[in-house]
Chain A
Amino acid sequence: MISVKNLKKNYDGVTVLNIPFLDIKQGESFGLVGNNGAGKTTFFSLILDLRRCSEGKVFSDNLDVSQNEVWKEYTGSYIDENFLIDFLTPDEYFKFIAKINDISGHDLDNFYQRFTNFFAGELQNKKKYIRELSKGNQKKVGIAAALLGKPRVLVLDEPFSNLDPTSQIWLKNHLNELKSNNGMTLLISSHDLNHVTEVCDRIVILDHGEIVHDLQTSENTLEELEAYFAL
């Protein structure tokens, strides 16, 4: 579904990301772990065509993401607050996202039903602008908007941070459900090794911009990861 060839990103002559080859299959759930500065966000930004690749290309459904915009129709994403329009209320924001994705009012109602528990009565029908929400609630808005319309590909950067425990567990279950029922391709990054092993079938460890481990999740994965990251 997503494949990367000879991908390099340089800043001022320093290579911050170097991935010769990576292929993420349709329906695969792909977890990216790594310490601060490993290049996780850079990698996701390149997949979403937010930054220019210094070398190489990113393909989504065999099409170069920087040359066409077809991928935007089936890709949901949330990286950070730069995805939020902070002077809208959450309802207005969802409505806006639904409109640009041609999602009908009926589907929007379904969406609210799906997320009732996640929103915990704090986001729907409230006259608060997104900028007035707590960090955790802002994150919920971003993640929910990324999931709006059940995209075929979902890219989330550290979705579990800032969320309360209930929401973390809910989100984990919801992602697993979407994976098995809808065959959604999932790309998430996380600092929380527990969560990422529970959601992802495949985990890649990134260190200083390079892939150092590419694991299929098994019972021992968590221990392997902990062993890797322990000093």
Chain B
Amino acid sequence: MIRLLLRHQWFEILRHPSWNKNLTANIIFAILFLLMFLNLLALGLSIDKILEIINPDKNPVAVFNSFLLYYFILDFIVRLLFQGVPSLSIKPYLTLPVKRRLLIHYLLSKSFGSLFPYVPLLVLVPFTTKILLNYYSVEVAILWLISMFLLFHFVTFIVCYIKRKIVLNPSFVVGIVLLFVAAIIIEQYSLFSLSDVSVFVFTQFLLNPVFVLISLLLLISIYYLNYNYLSSHIYPEEFVIKQSGKNSIKEYEYFGRYGEVGDLISLELKLIFRNKRLKSTIYFMFAFLILAWPFYKYYMPEFEGKPKFVNYQQEPVNKTNSEECIVNFVVIPEIQPPLKQVTITGNDIKLGEWYPDKVPLHLSEDSTWTRSFIFNKNTKLEYKITGAIWDNEALYEEGIIPEAFNLTVKQDTTIMIHVKTWNTASEDVFLGSFLLYGTIFLVGAFILGYGQFLLGWEGSYFDLLLARKIDYTKYFKAKFVIMVISTLIIFILLLPAVIYGVTVLYFLISTLLFNLGFSTHFLLFMASSSATKMDLKAGLFSMQGKGGQQMLNVLIIILAPAIVYGFTASKFGSATALIIISCVGILGIIFHPLILNSAVKRFIKRRYILGAAFRQQ
């Protein structure tokens, strides 16, 4: 019997509809999957270096252990949101003469197939072989690895139990996320350190390898908790994942006043907010937007060429004995450098050893920049003046970068340097392209997720749209308005990232224009190309309905502007490139009625093909 069940399980995987896709789509997914796999493996293989960078003074095992508890909590949150709970698949067997006990074990064992516990092994195994074995014996290391592996499965079943038992409403998840964030903040202010707890707990597993039994015990008990729950709730209606009982009958009345387009918009909003797949797309999008902060924080200053001042301390100018002389530099620029900061850099350690951003000069009220240093008599100095980065060196004659100045310290001196202008930085075109690519992704988060399948979402009632009196121009207009509104909302949410540099604003605005004018229209026009019905009940990461055509659309939207930017920025500079990107968008907005019309015409032409495809699935 067990063999038969396992055989069916195997068939279920083998005959899953997601395999029935065209070759290109499968290849694209295979490549994406491989990339993710390789990324994780690379992280795993360089774990020793990473741990050293994080904290070079501490034992790498302790550093690693300090993160484990955080990982487990994060893992728990992610799985609450995304881990599936096998439920209905045993329904056909319930009326057959099969022992229920066996069926429950069968149902539970399916959870061992969840991918979540296996992914971290890509990091844990290299960690064990590269680091752990240096400090502990092979047996201890292996037992530790097994303990961790069992604990990951423990999380699987705890999530299954929670999802089966209680109604998972968003506030519960938000609560846990807030607690997690709070723990990180408290850790920052060293009030209470969760990582110390983490180190303590997981070091025990290394000191007492017997602790592997604790992991095992935890796993077995949570398994039996699940088992007990299921055996007293064996009827399918009782053990399906609980959904909150109340249906939203929100009307989105606001749009009702805009006539038929408004009615279609409110229909579309109901489509989005009443179906699991689209709703979780929205949640995921907001989570995704958080990435904007580290993204801009890390890359924008680099793009703007902002200096990162390191170890700068103002030293007191105190003449202690006659062997030391005070050298006072005064820089008098005709215009201020692009980054509004003047630095000196030179061969001496006090001059930053040729790092342009280590030794800033101080701005005086008369717009000159000054700073005094003490050097030993007869010190030979070489130095240059920069605008905090090598790209902004001081120029005396336009276009000529001067050689370094030489000075041998003999007595207290004041050196006046007149700067005519500053070399302008050559921009990092590649970094700019990357920033644009990321910004398009962020601002377009919703339209890329939703707009890929504009018609596919409505596949289940497509015949109604064909047989009823619906004005297709208004139908497309409603979709356009939804994409515009969502883009504007995301734009506003991202605006605070301007704190990382005013250039963020330029990128956001040109991306906004591009998405409003180009991406939306492009997706409207391409909507009729893909005739795949989207299963609205599928999960967020379900591959159902996703094919090569949509992937191509997304690639065009995110890559085309980055490439155009790259070419124009390398010739005419970043500003021109961004203006060109914006102009593409503005053109789209100007020709909106024309493009909408041709999209509708294409739709009407292809309506039979679409209808047939949607009906079949």
- B-binding residues in A (CB < 8 A): 48-52, 69, 72-73, 75, 77, 79-89, 92, 96-97, 99-101, 127-129, 132
Nearest CB in chain A: distance from B506 CB, A: 41
Complex Cα distance, B257 from A99, in Å, reads 12
Nearest CB in chain B: distance from A148 CB, A: 11
A82-B461, A82-B462, A99-B260 known; A87 and B274 CB under 8 Å?
A: yes
Could you say which residues of chain A place their CB within 8 Å of the CB of B468? 72, 97, 100-101
Query: Which one of A48, A83, A86, A100 contacts B260 once the chains associate, using CB atoms below 8 Å?
Result: A100
Complex Cα distance, B613 from A50, in Å, reads 12
Could you say which residues of chain B place their CB within 8 Å of the CB of A48? 463, 466-467
New A-B pairs, 13, CB < 8 Å, besides A50-B608, A88-B267? A48-B467, A75-B467, A82-B460, A82-B463, A82-B615, A83-B464, A85-B460, A88-B270, A96-B263, A96-B267, A99-B260, A100-B469, A127-B249
Interface residues of B in 243-274 (CB under 8 A from A): 246-247, 249, 251, 260, 263, 267, 270-271, 274
Indicate with 1 or 0, residue by residue over B394-432, a CB within 8 angstroms of chain A CB atoms: 000000000000000000000000000000000000000
Query: Which of chain B's residues has its CB closest to A70's CB?
Result: B469
Complex Cα distance, B264 from A97, in Å, reads 11
Nearest CB in chain B: distance from A144 CB, A: 14
Contact B246 A127 (CB under 8 A): yes
Nearest CB in chain A: distance from B533 CB, A: 10
Nearest CB in chain B: distance from A187 CB, A: 13
Complex Cα distance, B549 from A81, in Å, reads 28
Contact B247 A92 (CB under 8 A): no
Indicate with 1 or 0, residue by residue over B139-150, a CB within 8 angstroms of chain A CB atoms: 000000000000
Contact A83 B461 (CB under 8 A): yes
Interface residues of B in 457-515 (CB under 8 A from A): 460-464, 466-470
Could you say which residues of chain B place their CB within 8 Å of the CB of A84? 461, 464
Contact B267 A129 (CB under 8 A): no
Complex Cα distance, B250 from A88, in Å, reads 10
Query: Which one of A81, A99, A127 contacts B247 once the chains associate, using CB atoms below 8 Å?
Result: A127
Of all A-B residue pairs in the complex, the 6 with the closest CB atoms, nearest first, are A82-B463, A52-B608, A72-B469, A87-B274, A83-B464, A48-B467
- Size of the B side of the interface (Cβ < 8 Å), in residues, is 27
Query: Which one of A50, A86, A96, A128 contacts B463 once the chains associate, using CB atoms below 8 Å?
Result: A50
B223 within 8 A of A: no
Complex Cα distance, B464 from A99, in Å, reads 14
Query: Which one of B260, B460, B611 contacts A51 once the chains associate, using CB atoms below 8 Å?
Result: B611
Nearest CB in chain A: distance from B127 CB, A: 46
A72-B468, A127-B246, A127-B249 known; A82 and B263 CB under 8 Å?
A: no
A82-B461, A82-B462, A96-B263 known; A101 and B536 CB under 8 Å?
A: no
Could you say which residues of chain B place their CB within 8 Å of the CB of A100? 260, 263, 468-470
Contact B461 A85 (CB under 8 A): yes
Query: Which one of A72, A83, A92, A101 contacts B270 once the chains associate, using CB atoms below 8 Å?
Result: A92
Could you say which residues of chain B place their CB within 8 Å of the CB of A52? 608
Query: Which of chain B's residues has its CB closest to A128's CB?
Result: B247
Indicate with 1 or 0, residue by residue over B557-577, a CB within 8 angstroms of chain A CB atoms: 000000000000000000000
Could you say which residues of chain A place their CB within 8 Å of the CB of B464? 82-85
Query: Which of chain A's residues has its CB closest to B609's CB?
Result: A52
Could you say which residues of chain A place their CB within 8 Å of the CB of B182? none
Nearest CB in chain B: distance from A231 CB, A: 31
Nearest CB in chain A: distance from B502 CB, A: 44
Nearest CB in chain A: distance from B531 CB, A: 14
Complex Cα distance, B275 from A89, in Å, reads 13
Complex Cα distance, B271 from A69, in Å, reads 26
Q: Which of A80, A81, A82, A128 has the largest count of B CB atoms less than 10 A from its CB?
A: A82
Complex Cα distance, B464 from A49, in Å, reads 11
Contact A79 B463 (CB under 8 A): yes
Complex Cα distance, B251 from A85, in Å, reads 15
- A-binding residues in B (CB < 8 A): 246-247, 249, 251, 260, 263, 267, 270-271, 274-275, 460-464, 466-470, 536, 608, 611-612, 614-615
Contact A87 B612 (CB under 8 A): no
Contact A49 B466 (CB under 8 A): yes
Could you say which residues of chain B place their CB within 8 Å of the CB of A72? 467-469
Could you say which residues of chain B place their CB within 8 Å of the CB of A77? 467
Complex Cα distance, B608 from A48, in Å, reads 11
Contact B615 A87 (CB under 8 A): no
Could you say which residues of chain B place their CB within 8 Å of the CB of A75? 467
Complex Cα distance, B536 from A52, in Å, reads 27
Complex Cα distance, B246 from A128, in Å, reads 9
Complex Cα distance, B464 from A80, in Å, reads 10
Nearest CB in chain B: distance from A212 CB, A: 27
Nearest CB in chain A: distance from B512 CB, A: 31
Nearest CB in chain A: distance from B84 CB, A: 20
Contact B274 A82 (CB under 8 A): no
A51-B611, A96-B267 known; A87 and B536 CB under 8 Å?
A: yes
Query: Which of chain B's residues has its CB closest to A53's CB?
Result: B608
Could you say which residues of chain A place their CB within 8 Å of the CB of B263? 96, 99-100
Nearest CB in chain A: distance from B158 CB, A: 30
Could you say which residues of chain A place their CB within 8 Å of the CB of B271? 87
Complex Cα distance, B263 from A203, in Å, reads 40
Nearest CB in chain A: distance from B478 CB, A: 12
Could you say which residues of chain B place their CB within 8 Å of the CB of A92? 249, 251, 270
Query: Which of chain B's residues has its CB closest to A86's CB?
Result: B460
Could you say which residues of chain B place their CB within 8 Å of the CB of A127? 246-247, 249
Q: Which of B275, B466, B468, B536 has the largest count of A CB atoms less than 10 A from its CB?
A: B468
A51-B611, A99-B260, A127-B247 known; A83 and B463 CB under 8 Å?
A: yes
Nearest CB in chain B: distance from A184 CB, A: 17
Could you say which residues of chain B place their CB within 8 Å of the CB of A83? 461, 463-464, 467
Contact A89 B249 (CB under 8 A): yes
Complex Cα distance, B460 from A87, in Å, reads 10
Complex Cα distance, B271 from A80, in Å, reads 20
Complex Cα distance, B267 from A203, in Å, reads 39
Contact B536 A82 (CB under 8 A): no
Complex Cα distance, B246 from A127, in Å, reads 8
Nearest CB in chain B: distance from A60 CB, A: 12
Contact A87 B467 (CB under 8 A): no
Complex Cα distance, B267 from A89, in Å, reads 12
Nearest CB in chain A: distance from B253 CB, A: 11
Could you say which residues of chain B place their CB within 8 Å of the CB of A96? 263, 267
Query: Which of chain A's residues has its CB closest to B459's CB?
Result: A82
Complex Cα distance, B458 from A86, in Å, reads 10
Contact A69 B469 (CB under 8 A): yes
Complex Cα distance, B274 from A69, in Å, reads 31
Could you say which residues of chain A place their CB within 8 Å of the CB of B463? 48, 50, 79-80, 82-83
Complex Cα distance, B602 from A229, in Å, reads 45
Could you say which residues of chain A place their CB within 8 Å of the CB of B462? 82
CB pairs A–B below 8 angstroms (11 shown): A48-B463, A52-B608, A82-B614, A83-B467, A92-B249, A92-B251, A100-B263, A100-B468, A100-B469, A101-B468, A128-B247
Contact B469 A73 (CB under 8 A): yes
Complex Cα distance, B467 from A96, in Å, reads 14
Could you say which residues of chain A place their CB within 8 Å of the CB of B615? 82
Complex Cα distance, B260 from A84, in Å, reads 19
Complex Cα distance, B612 from A83, in Å, reads 14
Nearest CB in chain A: distance from B93 CB, A: 24
Could you say which residues of chain A place their CB within 8 Å of the CB of B275? 87
Nearest CB in chain A: distance from B307 CB, A: 55
Nearest CB in chain A: distance from B245 CB, A: 10
Nearest CB in chain A: distance from B358 CB, A: 61
Could you say which residues of chain A place their CB within 8 Å of the CB of B461? 82-86
Nearest CB in chain B: distance from A37 CB, A: 16
Complex Cα distance, B461 from A86, in Å, reads 8
